[in-house]
A = this chain, B = another copy of it.
Amino acid sequence: MFMQDKCDRVNPEKIETLMQKVPDSENITRMSAVFQALQSDTRLKILFLLRQKEMCVCELEQALEVTQSAVSHGLRTLRQLDLVRVRREGKFTVYYIADEHVRTLIEMCLEHVEEKT
């Protein structure tokens, strides 16, 4: 038996069906973490740089004009969510975009904001 609390439009059974098609809590939380990683000017710029070519930390540091620490922290966040990946190259640590999903995410979002005058 369902409660029919308030709104006339509410059909509790239908709502339950809709909720079942929402990703489970674990995945919602993961997605939330991904979007949260993308919600930073610095990290976004890092991704738009890496989108063009893989780069080491100090290249990013020079390009972005923030401290090495800030770049490194930003990269860790992106790395932990598998948005970027790393490769050692001698004394350099080279970062690159993890996969096409990431490219699509930032490109889709750019299109969205560019659309508005």
Residues of A near any B CB (own CB < 8 A): 5-7, 9-10, 12, 15, 18-19, 21-23, 25, 27-36, 38-41, 44-45, 48-49, 52-53, 55-56, 58-59, 61-63, 82, 92, 99, 101-102, 104-106, 108-116
Contact = CB atoms under 8 A, between A and B. Distances in A.
B114 A10 contact: no
B59 A45 contact: no
Q: Which 5 pairs from chain A and chain B are nearest by CB? A: A7-B58, A36-B39, A35-B38, A30-B113, A35-B39
Question: How many copies altogether?
Answer: 2
B21 A113 contact: no
B109 A53 contact: no
A52 B99 CA distance: 27
A101 B108 contact: yes
Q: Is chain A's binding surface mostly helix, strand, loop or mixed?
A: helix
Contacts of A45: 22, 28
Nearest to A15: B63
Given A19-B63, A58-B7, A108-B105, A29 B12 contact: no
**Residue among A52, A58, A108, A116 with the highest chain B CB neighbour number at 10 A:** A108
